[in-house]
Every structure is written in C-alpha cells, then in structure tokens.
Structure 1
Amino acid sequence: MLLSACAYWGNDLLRWIEPETPSVSIGPTNDGRLLHGKRLPSAGPNYRTYSRLGSTLGRTAVNDRVRDTMLDSYMALEEITPEVRYVYGETGWPWGGRFRPHRTHQNGLSVDFMVPVTRNGTSTALPTTPFNKFGYALQFDQEGQSGDLRIDFEAMAAHLDALDVAAQQHGLRIALVVFAPDLQRRLYETELGTTLRHRLTFNVNPSWVRHDDHYHVDFELTGGVAE
C-alpha cells in the first residue's frame, strides 16, 4: 500500500518541494539538457498524466515556460471544450538529456500529447495502461478509429490552437507538430484546421514512430531554440 501511495502521489509531493529557480534549456531537442526542469501536475479539472508512476519517476518534466503554456491552454479549454478530457504523455527528465526510447525530448521543450478521443460519441480520456504501453501501443486507422475509440479531431484542433496562443504569452512558439500524415487530413477538415495548417508547421513525411495515438509538439524560445 505504501508503494502504491508513493507511485500515485509521489509526483505531486515532489512538485511541492521543487525549487522555483527558472528553467534553462540547453542545446536542441535531440542533443540537449535541461536545468531546473519542472514536473507537470499529475491531473487537473480536464487533463491528467498518461501515468502517475511515470510522472513520479520523473518522465513528465519540462521547461517552466512549457509548463505554464500547457496549464494556461488547459484552463482556456475548460471554457471552450468543457466536456473533453485531455491526456498528456511523456516529456523528459527534470535534468534533460537522453530520454529512451525517444530520439528527442532532451531539453525540456518537447511534449507528447495523447489524442483526445470519444467512445460512442462521448468524450473520454484515452485509456493508458501497462497493457497498451500507457497509450503508446494503440493503433488508429486512417479514419481515426481504434476499436470503439475515435479520435476527436475537433478537440485536438482546439488544443493546438490554445497551445499556440498560450505559447506566445510565455515567450515560446510551436516549432513543429509531429502527427501521422495520413491522419492530418482529418485534422485539417475541422473548423480550426485550415488556419492551423497555415499557422503551424507539421511534419510532411512519416516519422520512425507513426504518431497516430499521440501528437508530438516541439516548442522553441522566441529568442532562439535554446541557450
């Protein structure tokens, strides 16, 4: 029971004692490190981590500007899409550096966001368990369907829009969004899709991991990628 409690509440306790020293991102996302990384909250009114154990182990830490951008975007989404439950995935270590199995996520400026989904027309948090590798082993077809789960492209577009707006308020910009090219068409068909297609940079070619169950976002400091 003690181990279970530590796994469940550990991240929140560690957040409580972490210093307020501003974060410093050093180097690029694929060869960098992070000073004074900040842990993300395990859950909020409309979002949660992909894994409380993963968060306790330190796999969801970011630059403080990214943290504030994410939290502000979720707050805005409470008004815009109050019924949607968002899930964020892995981000990186509090100290940055190599973050297996990811090739990037090294300087505190990369975040995986699990796709928002519906089940039978009702919004639900993407199921993330050890049996589906905490959401990373789910497979969606070209229409965004996986069993009884369907990607909510409207909610995803609203999230990217909110992230873009919040990032600008915290001295960041979205440098790249990585999402399965065969699913990008469905995203662009949403109400916000056309403007997002021109405002943000999406990958053109498939990545080494399909990115159908999550979308990877790289931020950069508006004064440059990192120090």
Structure 2
Amino acid sequence: MTLASSARPPRPAFAPRWSAWWVLLVVLCGGLATPLVREAAAAGTSAKKKSGSSKGKKKPTSKNSAASKPAAVKPVQRDVWGPSSVPDGEFADTDTDGEGDLDDESAADTDDPTSELEAIERELLSQPAGPEPEIVYAEGPPPPPPPPVKPKSLKHELIPGETLEDVARRYQVALGDLEKWNAIKAGAPIPRQKKDLRVITTHSPPPREKLEHIVKRGDTWDSIAAGFGVEVAKLRQQNPRLGDKFKLDPKKKLKVVCWKDLDLSPLAELGTKLAQIRVRAGGISIGKPNRGKLVRGVELPDRPDLYVKRKPDEAYGSTHTVMQTLAAITRFRHESRFKGQVVIGGMSRPRGGRFRPHKSHQSGRDVDIRLPLLRTSEGKKHTTSADVDWKATWELMRAFLDTGEVEYIFLEYNLQKRIYKAARESGVSREQLDAWLEWPVKVKKRSNKRVVIRHVEGHTTHMHVRIRCGAQEKHCYSSR
C-alpha cells in the first residue's frame, strides 16, 4: 500500500475545474458543428445516389444543354438612317434569298421583337404625319398648257372609204377650206386618183395604225369588228371590195384591213400622268418584311383604269410602296397599251404584321401581282404558263425596275426563261438581263448570283414585288 500510493503523483487542486470547462467547450462546439456535418453527410449521400443512378447513361451534349436555355431576342437597330446603313452581318437572316410567300406553320415566333416594334410604332404615331397628299415624281404642280401653235401645212394620206367630211372632222377644219386647199368643187367627192389631201391646221390628231385579220371559217363582220374594237359600218367602209358574206378560197387568203386611231387619253404624256398621282403621307414601314409592322398604312386607291384589287382589306402599304406601285403600273399602261386586267393580290394589313398564309407581307413593302393573261384566257379559274401574256409580263416587270426602287421580284426559275425571251425580243441586252435574272445560270450556282428577279417556289401564276425602304423610313430594314 505504501509503495502504490507513493508511485502516483499528487492530484493538483485545479484539475476538477479545468475538466469541467473542457467538457463545456466540447459540447458547445459539437452543437454548432452537428448541423453542418449532417448537411455534408446528406449531400454526400445524395451525390452517391445520383452517381450510382447515372451509371451507364450518356452525359448530355453541349447542344442539348444550349437548347434548354431561352433563345436570345435580337433588338431592332434604331440608330441608323435608311436601308443602306444596316450592317450585312447583323441582318443577314432577313431570309430573302430562300423566302417563300407562304407561311411556315412550324416557325417559332419567339424571335419576333414585338415589344420593340410596338415601341417604335407608338413613337411614330406621336409625330405628325407630314403634308397631305404627297405627289409622285412631281416637283410642283402639273405643267401649264403649251403655248398656241401656229397653223402648219401637212399632207393627209387617204384610206379606203374616207370622205372629205371625215378628214375635216379629223383635223378640226372647215369643209369649205379643205375643198379650196385641194381644188375640189363644193359637195363633190374626192377624185379617185387622189392619194392624199393638203390640210392647214393647228390640231394634231392621234397617230393611226393599220390592223389586219385573215378571215377564217365562221367569221362575220360583227365578230371581226368586235375583235378590232370598231363599228361594223366603219369596218365595211374601209373594205369596200368585200361583200356582205365572206367567200373563202382555200388557195387564197381573204384579208380584212382596219385603220384605227391609237387610244391616247388627254394625259398622254407619261410625266403628266405621273404628276396627277396623289398618295396620303405618313405611311411608314418598320422592321423587316417577315418581321415588321406598318404605321398609318395607306390603302391602295381604287383605280379601275389601272388595276383590280382582289382583297381590298389586304391592299395596304407604306406611302413609298403605294407611290411606286401606282407609278409603275401607270408607266406600264402608258407604254405597253395593254388592255387586259392587272390584278393586285395581297399587300399588307393596315397595321402590318403577320397574316396567313403569308410569311412576309408584314411591313407594307410586298405586292403580289397576277401575271397578265392573254385576252383569250381571261376569266379562267385555273391558268397555266400557256395562258400568260409574257410580253406584257416583262413590260410590267420592266416598269417596276425602271422606278429604281425594287429590291426583289420573286418568280419561279423555270418561268424566267419566258421572261428572258420576251425581254430579248424587246431589245434588252444579254448583259443587262444577266444583272436582273437568274436564268440561264445553272441551278447549283444560281444561289450565289445576286440579282433582282429570283427564284422562290410557289410563284407560278403571280409575281411578288418587294419595294425598297423609303428615304425617310429610318426604322425600315432591307437585306441589301
């Protein structure tokens, strides 16, 4: 007992108190650390379960992970002036090269900057519309009437059946003066040997054209006169050697001749006609053709002398587009003398935006025009390329091209051959057509050819004309 007690050192007096503080510190630290430890343990357990459950499964690719993110919306650029200021890279997705006229049902609308377009629309509506009406191609009022013309002496070539009364009426002169100038007794007929008459006048009658018709089985005076657009009595007067009924001879062609004045209106001069066009100001295109709006849309006016509107509620456009459309069709009517119908299809709605079945036509710059038809094909419900008047179609296209304001004309590639042929027959050079048409470039190479008249499927019975942005439309964007 003595040895054992002497082997152990005596216990210090402060030992119990230190042990108590140590125990208290451990308890406190353990109470704070326990939730953190539990969280870490739970996280580790869930990670193990997740890694265990993902064994044998492929990791998601970067494409799928990117698809889960919301698509970025491109804002409309607003700090530029005019279509030429748009950067090519930023607006390269305008989709004019392969754009169809029909809407794509599967196309998402999430990339349409609707809020930005509406903000621009509100801003423009708060501004005054400008002068009303605006004038197309006219720097001032119509030109004054020409000064008085001095009388001039001329020779009038006589046509079969023409009388002195007819000639006096044509040149607005007195019958007695006409008899005196040509040494013809008063009341006497024109001598047979005379081929022309002398006339002194200040009046210039319209030019006269000679028309011919080869008589076929079943033709009558009435049917031929209706084809020429003249009275039967006048036609028979010009063909005095033909009897009441046509006697056909298989060995000899029977010909009916008609002399007809060219149909010139009082506004015969093209410049005067264009100066008469009035269009309301303030119609502005904003955005792109397939992602845009129309502010203060201008309705295409009723002009039955120029065209027919197929859907009046969709015949709206910007002021610039309506002006160029009116000017082009006026030029076409004046220069081609085409008497058939020009039918205007879809343009845009009063405020623009999408409307079925079109994918474009949203900003008031697109115009659908039916290809002009031959007179014998008008009224058909279903037409083919054989029913189209290709000469008139080219002249209508040329009238739009001559405005200098056309961005594109869409027409299927196979039909461009007809346009090429009609244009060559009218005297257009191959070099000029190469700058306008895709045809005859090979199919694989034509997508790289930057031309105005280009292929888009579905344009077989109508052409789609797209007008450039106007000079004052700073929120309007083109692809070129």
Q: Do the two structures share a fold, i.e. TM-score over 0.5?
A: yes
Number of residue pairs the alignment of both structures matches: 178
Query: Structure 1 residues 77 and 21 mapped into 2: Cα distance closer, same or farther (>3 Å)?
Result: closer
CA distance in 1, matches of 2:298, 2:314: 11
User: Which residue in 2 is equivalent to 1:203?
Assistant: 454
Which residue, 460, 463, 466 being the options, matches 1:215?
A: 463
- The 1:119–1:90 alpha-carbon spacing in structure 2 relative to 1, beyond 3 Å, is same
Q: Which residue of 2 aligns with 1:64?
A: 319
TM-score computed with the length of structure 1 as normaliser: 0.69
Q: 2:396 maps to what in 1?
A: 159
Aligned CA distance change for structure 1 residues 24 and 46 (closer, same or farther; 3 Å) = closer
Instruction: Name the residue aligned to 1:89.
Output: 345
Contact 1:139–1:212 (CA<8 Å) still a contact in 2? no
Matching of residue 226 in structure 1 with residue 458 in structure 2? no
The alignment partner of 2:337 has SS state of coil
CA contact (8 A) 1:188 1:197 kept: no
Q: What residue is the counterpart of 2:305 in the other structure?
A: 45
Residue 346 of structure 2 aligns to which amino acid in structure 1?
E
Shift of 1:225: 8.1
1:33 maps to: 293
- Alpha-carbon distance change, 203 to 77 in structure 1, aligned in 2, over 3 angstroms: closer
1:70-219 correspondence to structure 2 within 5 Å: 70-85=325-340, 86-120=342-376, 126-127=378-379, 132=381, 138-140=382-384, 144-145=385-386, 150-166=387-403, 168=404, 173-191=405-423, 194=430, 195-199=432-436, 201-204=452-455, 206-207=456-457, 210-219=458-467
Cα distance change, pair 225–110 in 1 and its aligned pair in 2 (3 A): farther
Instruction: In structure 1, give the amino acid aligned to 2:288.
Output: P
Q: RMSD value over aligned CA atoms?
A: 2.6
Q: How high is the sequence identity, in percent, across the aligned residues?
A: 23
Larger mean CA deviation between 187-196 and 156-165 belongs to: 187-196
Q: Displacement of 1:20 after TM fit?
A: 3.7
CA contact (8 A) 1:84 1:116 kept: no
Aligned partner of 1:7 in structure 2 is none
Cα distance in structure 2, aligned partners of 1:34 and 1:79: 31
1:37 counterpart letter in structure 2: G
Kindly state the Cα deviation for residue 226 of structure 1 after the two structures are TM-superposed.
1.0
Q: Deviations over 1:49-99 (max 9, x none)?
A: 12xxx20xx211011111111111222222212233311111010110012
**What is the distance in 1 between the residues matched to 2:407 and 2:314?**
22
Q: C-alpha separation between the residues in 2 aligned to 1:119 and 1:203?
A: 27
Following TM superposition, the consecutive aligned residue runs of length 4 or more in structure 1 with deviations greater than 3 angstroms are: 192-197, 222-225
User: Is the Cα contact below 8 Å between 1:46 and 1:82 reproduced in 2?
Assistant: no
Q: Secondary structure at the match of 1:189?
A: helix
Higher share in strand: 1
What is the deviation of 1:27?
Answer: 0.6
Contact 2:290 2:360 in 1 (8 A): yes
Secondary structure of the structure 2 residue equivalent to 1:221: coil
The structure-2 alpha-carbon separation of the partners of 1:215 and 1:181, relative to structure 1 and needing over 3 Å to count, comes to same
Q: Give the corresponding residue for 2:174.
A: none
* Structure 1 residue 117: Cα displacement: 0.5
Q: Shift of the alpha carbon at 1:196? A: 4.8
TM-score between both structures, scaled by the size of structure 2: 0.34
DSSP-derived class of the 1:190 partner? helix
Q: Gaps spanning 5+ residues in structure 2: where?
A: 1-278, 437-450
The amino acid across from 1:33 in the alignment is: K
Provide the C-alpha distance between the structure 2 equivalents of 1:43 and 1:67, rounded to a whole number of angstroms: 12
1:113-152 residue CA offsets vs partner (Å, 9 max, x unmatched): 11100043xxx7x548xxx5xxxxx452xxx12xxxx111
The residue type paired with residue 213 of structure 1 is T
Aligned 8 A contact 1:30 1:103 in 2: yes
Secondary structure at 1:32 match in 2: strand
RCO comparison, higher one (Cα < 8 Å, 6+): 1
